[in-house]
């Protein structure tokens, strides 16, 4: 029986059969090509991501190197705080602080942050100089550490809000990853938050006494998250929450590659602090720049103490 085309023309049954066989051959070839392409795609897929017990040692190793490198630097901090009352969309009080910020490896205490405020709301609070760096490069270690703490406590009085606090520092969450503290912390992976090679590690402080305490001496347990590259251990973001019956605080820090040093360094810190029952809440945003290197020794006396000068 002849095959009929849509336009009414006819061709032989033999020609129709050949066409069908040709179409079958083409269909088989397409199936083989699709199967081959699928196999190639599956073969080209990246290997499964490393488990958390592999990622954590990489993160700890990265942290130790980061602290050694960043511990030889001073950063300039531009910090804006606002005091917000309940019911107000905008802060009714605002403060702008400029400070020098650095880490120092204190024997028996590990890497300790120090902030030296040199400008508040556009007014100099002292002569513009690298007071902290010069402090650590002269005088005895004990005297230098004690004076640096006094300088930081002096700067804390510029914080908005009631009470005294020194936890608003960009390296706060990293303290929970150190070799002397990580045993008191439980780490788990937030699997739903994984993006590409970035892994999100949740941490909860389980040790008592806690690393932080309130001004009244109460434990202040912390928890948070660390964004880390699963292959290199590089930390790109930290988030920390701490609260008890009296206070609550949050500190979130993002890190970026600094072109001058090729290091991942703190770029932006956002923090929030509130006392229970207090309608006021303090929020802050700090940015970091002008990273410069210096050398600090906390085990040797580099120069005689300058007893006649100011800290």
The pLDDT score that the predictor gives to residue 300 is 39
Whether the pLDDT of residue 86 is over 90: the answer is no
Pick from 13-27, 36-50, 204-218: least confident:
13-27
Q: Are 205 and 176 a contacting pair, CB within 8 Å?
A: yes
Q: Mean of the pLDDT values across residues 299-309?
A: 37
Average pLDDT, the chain: 81
d(CA 211, CA 303): 33
Task: Extract the tokens encoding 82.
Answer: 């606002």
* Residue with more model confidence, 131 or 199: 199
* Residue with more model confidence, 156 or 38: 156
The pLDDT score that the predictor gives to residue 171 is 96
In this structure, what is the dihedral angle of CA atoms 176, 178, 184, 190, given to the nearest 10 degrees? 60
| Residue whose tokens read 């892994």 | 199
Q: Mean of the pLDDT values across residues 89-93?
A: 62
Mind listing the pLDDT tens digit for each residue in 154-204?
888 899 987 778 889 999 999 999 998 999 999 999 976 667 789 999 999
d(CA 265, CA 291): 9
Q: Tell me the sheet residues that pair with 264.
A: 257
160: phi then psi, degrees, rounded to nearest 5? -75, 160
**Which burial class, exposed, middle or buried, applies to 103 when counting CB atoms under 10 A from its CB (0-12, 13-18, 19+)?**
buried
The pLDDT score that the predictor gives to residue 24 is 59
Q: Mean of the pLDDT values across residues 221-247?
A: 95
Q: Are 219 and 249 a contacting pair, CB within 8 Å?
A: no
C-alpha distances in Å from residue 32, one per residue of 25, 27, 35, 37:
11, 9, 5, 9
């Amino acid at each position: 029986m002849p095959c009929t085309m849509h336009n009414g023309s006819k061709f032989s049954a033999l020609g129709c059969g050949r066409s069908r066989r040709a179409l079958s051959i083409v269909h088989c070839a397409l199936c083989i090509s699709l199967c081959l392409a699928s196999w190639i795609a599956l073969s080209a897929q990246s290997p499964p991501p490393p488990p958390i017990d592999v990622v954590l040692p990489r993160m700890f190793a990265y942290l130790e190197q980061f602290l050694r490198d960043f511990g030889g630097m001073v950063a300039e901090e531009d910090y804006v705080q606002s005091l917000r009352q309940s019911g107000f969309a905008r802060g009714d009080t605002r403060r702008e602080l400029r400070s020098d910020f650095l880490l120092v490896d204190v024997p028996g205490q590990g890497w300790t942050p120090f902030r030296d405020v040199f400008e508040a709301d556009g007014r100099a609070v002292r002569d513009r100089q690298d007071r902290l760096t010069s402090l650590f490069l002269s005088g005895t270690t004990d005297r230098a550490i004690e004076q640096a703490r006094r300088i930081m406590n002096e700067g804390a009085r510029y914080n908005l809000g009631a009470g005294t606090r020194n936890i608003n520092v960009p390296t706060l969450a990293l303290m929970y990853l150190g070799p002397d503290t990580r045993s008191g912390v439980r780490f788990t992976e937030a699997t739903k938050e994984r993006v590409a090679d970035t892994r999100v590690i949740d941490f909860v402080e389980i040790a008592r006494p806690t690393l932080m305490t309130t001004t009244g001496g109460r434990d202040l347990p912390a928890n948070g998250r660390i964004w880390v590259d699963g292959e290199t251990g590089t930390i790109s973001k930290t988030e920390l929450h701490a609260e008890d019956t009296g206070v609550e605080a949050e500190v979130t820090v993002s890190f970026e590659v600094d072109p001058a040093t090729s290091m991942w360094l703190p770029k932006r810190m956002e923090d929030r602090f509130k006392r229970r029952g207090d309608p006021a809440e303090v929020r802050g945003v700090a940015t970091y720049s002008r990273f410069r290197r210096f050398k600090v020794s906390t085990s040797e006396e580099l120069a005689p103490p300058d007893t006649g000068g100011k800290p």
